[in-house]
C-alpha cells in the first residue's frame, strides 16, 4: 500500500516541477495569454564581448533573396552586421529604418550589413525590402536554417529580431536582442568594432 502512495507522490512532485518550469518559458507564457504573436522579442539589451574574450570565428553561408551566394569568407577583413528577421515581425519593421541608416553610413567605411530572413521566401523578403527601403541583401535561411545553426547559442530561433556585430576576423563582437533602439547604439558598436586594431 505504501508503494502506490509513494509513486503517486513522486508523480505529483514531478508534475509540479514540470509545470513550474513551463511558467518560466516565455513562449509558453505567450501561448497561455492567448496571443498569436509566434515570436519572442528581446528587450533591446546589448551584450558586448571584449576582443580578448571572443570565441573562434563563425563560418556561415547562404543564398540571398536576389539569388546570390554569400559566405563569411566574402566579408573577412571588415565588420559585418547580421540582422535576423522576418516580414511578419512587427519589431523588425520598426527597426528597419535605423538598420538601413547605419548600413548606408558605414557602407564605404569598413562594415557591411546582411539580413537573415528566418521564415520567408525570396518574394516576401524582397517585398519587405522594397516597402521599407532596405538596400542591403538578406539571406533566405527559412529552408535550411544554416545561419541559425551556425550561431546557435547566440541567436535563438524564436528570438527575433536579433542583431549581431561580427568583427574583422569573423568573431562575434556584440549582440542586440530585440529591436534596436534607434541607430545610435548600433552605430557606436559598429564604429568601435571597425576601430579595433
pLDDT in tens, 173-188: 999 999 998 999 999 9
**Which has more pLDDT, 45 or 102?**
102
End-to-end C-alpha distance for the chain, whole angstroms: 73
**Contact 154/89 with Cβ under 8 angstroms?**
no
Gap between the Cα atoms of 165 and 176, Å rounded: 9
pLDDT of residue 17 exceeding 90: no
Q: Which residue has the cell 567605411?
A: 109
The reported pLDDT for the residue numbered 149 is: 93
CA angle 182, 154, 121 (to 5 degrees): 75
Of residues 16 and 123, more confidently modeled: 123
Burial 154-166 (b: 16+ CB within 10 A, else e): bbbbebbbbbbbb
> Bigger pLDDT: 9 or 173?
173
Q: What residues form DSSP beta bridges with 88?
A: none
CA angle 181, 148, 52 (to 5 degrees): 70
With 0-12 / 13-18 / 19 or more C-beta atoms within 10 angstroms meaning exposed / middle / buried, residue 63 is middle
pLDDT in tens, 56-82: 999 999 999 999 999 999 999 999 999
Amino acid at each position: 500500500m505504501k508503494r502506490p502512495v509513494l509513486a503517486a507522490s513522486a508523480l505529483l512532485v514531478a508534475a509540479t516541477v514540470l509545470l513550474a518550469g513551463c511558467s518560466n518559458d516565455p513562449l509558453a507564457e505567450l501561448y497561455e495569454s492567448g496571443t498569436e504573436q509566434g515570436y519572442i522579442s528581446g528587450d533591446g539589451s546589448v551584450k558586448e564581448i571584449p576582443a580578448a574574450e571572443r570565441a573562434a570565428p563563425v563560418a556561415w553561408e547562404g543564398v540571398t533573396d536576389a539569388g546570390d551566394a554569400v559566405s563569411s569568407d566574402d566579408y573577412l577583413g571588415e565588420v559585418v552586421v547580421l540582422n535576423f528577421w522576418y516580414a511578419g515581425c512587427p519589431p523588425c519593421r520598426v527597426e528597419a529604418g535605423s538598420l538601413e541608416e547605419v548600413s548606408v553610413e558605414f557602407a564605404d567605411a569598413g562594415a557591411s550589413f546582411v539580413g537573415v530572413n528566418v521564415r520567408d521566401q525570396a518574394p516576401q523578403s524582397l517585398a519587405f525590402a522594397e516597402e521599407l527601403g532596405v538596400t542591403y541583401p538578406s539571406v533566405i535561411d527559412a529552408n535550411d536554417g544554416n545561419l541559425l545553426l551556425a550561431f546557435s547559442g547566440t541567436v535563438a530561433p524564436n528570438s527575433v529580431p536579433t542583431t549581431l556585430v561580427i568583427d574583422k576576423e569573423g568573431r562575434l563582437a556584440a549582440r542586440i536582442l530585440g529591436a534596436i533602439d534607434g541607430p545610435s547604439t548600433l552605430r557606436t558598436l559598429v564604429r568601435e568594432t571597425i576601430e579595433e586594431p
